[in-house]
Amino acid sequence: MNKLNTSNTMTINDFPFPIHTGAIKPDWIRTAQQKGFNIVARVVDRLHLALQCKRCGHVNKVRLFTLMSAQPLCVNCVEIVWRADAQAAGLEFIKRDPSNRHYGIYRMSCGHEICRQFALVKRTAVGKTGLRCERCHAAAEVAEAQVLGWDIIGPDPEGDPNYRLYRHVECGHEQRFARANVQSQRISCGACGTNWPAAPSFLYAMGFTLENGRELVKAGFSRNPWSRLHHQLKADREMPCAILRTVPVPTGQEAIRLEKRLHSELKQTHPDCIVDTACYRGQIRVVSEIYDGSLTPTILARLGDIEAELGRRAS
């Protein structure tokens, strides 16, 4: 007759369970050993066993039906895998999410805690995807907007996850922008801003070093040369490049006039320095107005002349 021994208990995962005094059948023992466990005792009632994992020695409470019909899991071995995945993904595993068995609680390198699926962390560990901290990400979005004179209000009222709603600090106008445009600093206020022909602009000279070591130089105009370089021209993120000089111009219309005049002069006086598009395809996103690096001093000198010319006009 199976009896419950209430005087003896076994602690499993920090919880005490009463030991059941019923017999342990030989086929249970064989099945457990074949599946990587040793039976320590019967616990709670006639339907549960305490199984010790052969790999790590941890004792698990397992239903007898599970042992006989499926492959029991050792909770300690599973947690070891979770911790290893977390470490490979740059995280620290804290605990399993008590509200969802498919999720875990992790600490990121920034110190904030996140809740993520175990499968997602495993994919991150092998480099198939990435993870981000919502709190740090939100702070970064606020900082990006504030640099440009905007406050972020909240999500896009039209429901596009790539857009946010912003308020212009200077005039209070509210406007939705794609976050990519805020990051690349390509935004303008719809209330008090001006379009590029009337807005202040810059002439620029930029230097590039291709994979084969060849030096190139580009002259052009843009309202934001930094954004033009890093978010439009630069296709290869590892390519060395730099803004060599900028010249402020009162309007975009004047900037494009001066740029066209400069290129006309360079093409007439230095046609041999014009570089074929095939030389930089895949590294610089442009199809013309790229010159050999030997022309850099000439371009910088001409920009100096233009800056002096603009200065004389202003005075």
Distance in angstroms (rounded) separating the CA atoms of residues 144 and 182: 7
pLDDT at residue number 194? 63
Q: What is the pLDDT of residue 197?
A: 58
Instruction: Look at residue 62 in the predicted model and tell me its pLDDT.
Output: 95
User: What per-residue confidence (pLDDT) applies to 3?
Assistant: 37
Instruction: Determine the Cα–Cα distance for residues 76 and 82; give it in Å rounded to an integer.
Output: 10
Q: If the chain, 315 residues long, is cut into consecutive pieces of 10 residues, what is the mean pLDDT of each piece?
A: 52 85 92 95 92 93 94 94 95 94 94 95 92 90 93 90 92 88 83 68 96 96 92 90 96 87 95 95 91 97 95 83
Count the alpha carbons within 13 Å of 139 in the hemisphere toward its beta carbon.
7
Segment 144-165, tens digit of pLDDT: 999 999 999 999 888 889 999 9
Q: Please give the distance of CA 147 from its chain centroid, rounded to a whole number.
A: 20
pLDDT of residue 221: 94
193-223 confidence digits (pLDDT tens): 666 656 789 999 999 999 999 999 999 999 8
Is 24 strand, coil or helix? Answer: coil
Q: What is the pLDDT of residue 184?
A: 87
Q: What's the distance, Cα to Cα, between the start and end of the chain in Å?
A: 109
Rounded distance between C-alpha atoms, residue 47 and residue 58, angstroms: 20
pLDDT score, position 158: 82
Dist. CA 141–CA 156, nearest whole Å: 13
Predicted pLDDT at 16: 87
Which DSSP helix (H) or strand (E) runs through 7? strand 4-12
